[in-house]
Amino acid sequence: MPRSLTNEQRIFLVKQWWISGNTRVVNEAFQAEFPDTKIPTRQTIYQLAKTFDETGSVEDAPRSGRPRTVRTEENMERVSETFLLNPQTSKKRASIDLGISRRSLGRLMQDLNLKLYKPRLLQALNEDDPDRRTKFCEWVLDSFEEDPTVLDRILWTDEAIFKVNGRANRRNCVYWSDTNPHLVIEQELNVPQVVVWGGIWSNGVVEPYLFEGNVTSQKYFQMLKDNIIPQLEEHSSFQTMIWQQDGAPPHYGQIVRDYLDDTFLHWIGRRGTIEWPPRSPDLTPCDFSLWGILKDRVYAQNPCYTNHLKSLIEQEFISINDDIELCQKICRSVADRCQMCINTEGKQFEHLR
């Protein structure tokens, strides 16, 4: 029976049927009463009269099968309880257990404001690391309060490895799935790679230095003395620049520390005039921003041999150097990160951002 008929029209049809018992007469009366509605078929009139005889109502009998909507209070409570008891349940598993299609389950989860969250990798800390991190962050914020230009004067430096068959930053590669896809990215061993030194500050990035082989204190010292420092000395802000490096073994060599003591009034690092807290990649722009940007851009161009890789690295450094506003934003964001680090008593904070 057509569900387009209103209850008023159905009652009218039943009355006319019992008065005349003739479908032609019923249709003529119906057309006169409801001129804008399609005339019902003979079968519809018969079925409507039969339904009224059997049920005393002109309304359709309830349909069998699954209800038209599953967004009921009962199902909302069932879904909420399921994910409250086991937040790691996949949508597929929950759909089977609850007897609700995944599409309908998705709507219910949306109504409940349930969202998918990814775990994040965090640098493990040693027992005394939080105190060291807090001390450094307090120095940054106190210095920033006294001199708002201090973050513009720090040159943040680091090394990173780029490989010919490298992949884009995995932190930017997201795979949405209702279950673990067990995704595997095949990685060749012993492929050509380049160790890149880089530096960033509010005036841009420093021209990269590409090491040949492993980095040692002697190689690092020669790089500083013959390549990097001569570049920096040409800058008008060199006299007030603050050098930063982490505590990697090549940086800690006595020859390196003596050279930095002679070159800079203040430098941040292991046994520097300002102590760098170990295991703190979340506080240095190279780690939390620069390398990620560079690797995404370089690997997106599929370097196929070492010289091609080197050329792309140098090209992307130039590209970033043209975006001074980006460099300033990255370096000045250290203040906010230091405040978050202090708020968490020196513990990891990136997962809270």
The alpha carbon dihedral of 351, 132, 285, 312 has a sign of negative
Which pLDDT score is estimated for 66? 55
Query: 10-residue block means of pLDDT along the chain (353 residues)?
Result: 76 88 89 88 87 79 62 88 85 86 88 77 83 97 96 97 72 42 54 93 96 94 97 95 97 97 97 96 95 94 93 96 96 96 93 74
Structure tokens at 344: 């968490």
Contact 246, 284 (CB under 8 A): yes
CB 160 within 8 A of CB 199: no
φ, ψ for residue 206, nearest 5 deg: -90, 145
Residue 208 pLDDT: 96
Q: Are the C-beta atoms of 313 and 298 separated by less than 8 Å?
A: yes
Q: CA-based angle 217:314:300, to the nearest 5?
A: 115
SS (HEC) of the chain: CCCCCCHHHHHHHHHHHHHHCCHHHHHHHHHHHCCCCCCCCHHHHHHHHHHHHHHCCCCCCCCCCCCCCCCCHHHHHHHHHHHHHCCCCCHHHHHHHHCCCHHHHHHHHHHCCCCCCCCCCCCCCCCCHHHHHHHHHHHHHHHHHHCCCHHHHEEEEEEEEEECCCCCCHHHCCCCCCCCCCCCCCCCCCCCEEEEEEEEECCEEEEEEEECCCCCHHHHHHHHHHHHHHHHHCCCCHHHCEEECCCCHHHHCHHHHHHHHHHCCCEEECCCCEECCCCCHHHCHHHHHHHHHHHHHHHCCCCCCHHHHHHHHHHHHHHHHCCHHHHHHHHHCHHHHHHHHHHCCCCCCHHHC
Report the C-alpha gap between 253 and 265 in whole angstroms.
19
- Rounded to whole angstroms, the Cα distance separating 24 from 342 reads 87
Say whether domain 129-352 belongs to CATH 3.60.20.10. no
pLDDT at residue 174, as a whole number: 40
pLDDT for 119: 63
Show me where the domains of the chain are located.
7-55, 73-111, 129-352
Phi, psi angle pair for 212, to nearest 5°: -100, 115
pTM greater than 0.85 (yes/no): no
